Amino acid sequence: MTDHVSAWDEDYRRRGNLWGGAPALLPELPSDATILEVGCGNGKTLSALVRQFRSVIAVDISPRAVALARRHPGLAAAALTVGDARFLPFSDGTFDAVFLIHIAGHLPEPGRRAVAAEACRVLRPGGFVFFRDFSVEDMRAGKGLETEDRTFRRGNGIITHYFTETETRELFRPLVPVEIRTHRWSMRVRGRDLPRAEIEAVLLKEG
């Protein structure tokens, strides 16, 4: 796991704010919902979350990412901490919603299962997990050194796993899928339209 942290820290050191642009639209939840973002990076999605919800906590395994997020406009007072998504430092049933945006796919299979289990653990009954990660249909799937089935390591040392809808459903059992879909769009690269694709899921904790 140390190598994993080092790879992310080095990427943030070299490139600074890795994630820019407008975040995806957020779900409609009560403004007083208690929110956790796991893997907040330099604060792209977090900046939108704190504008919409009054109680937001965010964690990331990279100290450099957390430091960058703390310097993000509007996040100076946000509740940010360095933490491991596989071992969240929160009590059972703490949050109304957990956001996992491009985090689980950067871990090997045991880590992905641990992240899903922790998200379920810290979620209150009636709460939701909002998941987004790359699909097997994405143009980058298959690029790099394959370390596991559909998991590839590229030159920066960071791994990326490419999901299917069925795999996502199974990963988050016993949560109940409200929606699992593949979001597809095109990216024009050197005059060619190449496929981009993500798995998006909303999953409910019954009780």
Q: What is the pLDDT of residue 144?
A: 95
Q: Do residues 81 and 89 touch, judged by C-beta distance below 8 A?
A: yes
Domain residue limits, the chain: 2-204
Burial class of residue 155, CB neighbours in 10 A (0-12, 13-18, 19+): exposed
Using CA atoms, how far apart are residues 62 and 77, in angstroms rounded to an integer?
Answer: 19
Using CA atoms, how far apart are residues 95 and 33, in angstroms rounded to an integer?
Answer: 8
Taking the chain, what is the end-to-end CA distance rounded to the nearest angstrom?
34
Q: What is the pLDDT of residue 9?
A: 60
Q: What is the pLDDT of residue 3?
A: 57
Neighbouring CB atoms inside 10 A of 84's CB total: 18
Using CA atoms, how far apart are residues 141 and 191, in angstroms rounded to an integer?
Answer: 20
CATH superfamily of 2-204: Vaccinia Virus protein VP39 (3.40.50.150)
Using CA atoms, how far apart are residues 206 and 174, in angstroms rounded to an integer?
Answer: 9
In order along its 207 residues, the chain shows pLDDT tens digits of 445 666 666 666 565 554 445 566 688 899 999 999 999 888 888 989 998 999 999 999 988 888 888 888 778 767 999 999 999 999 999 999 999 999 999 999 999 999 999 999 999 999 999 999 999 999 999 999 999 999 999 877 889 999 999 999 999 999 999 999 999 999 998 899 999 999 999 999 998
Using CA atoms, how far apart are residues 157 and 149, in angstroms rounded to an integer?
Answer: 17
DSSP state of 113: H
- Look up residue 2 and give its amino acid: T
Q: What is the pLDDT of residue 158?
A: 87
Q: Tokens at residue 154, please? A: 């590229």
Q: Tokens at residue 99, please? A: 């956001």
Q: What is the pLDDT of residue 2?
A: 46
C-alpha distance from residue 116 to each of 4, 38, 71, 136 (Å): 18, 11, 29, 19
Q: What is the pLDDT of residue 73?
A: 76
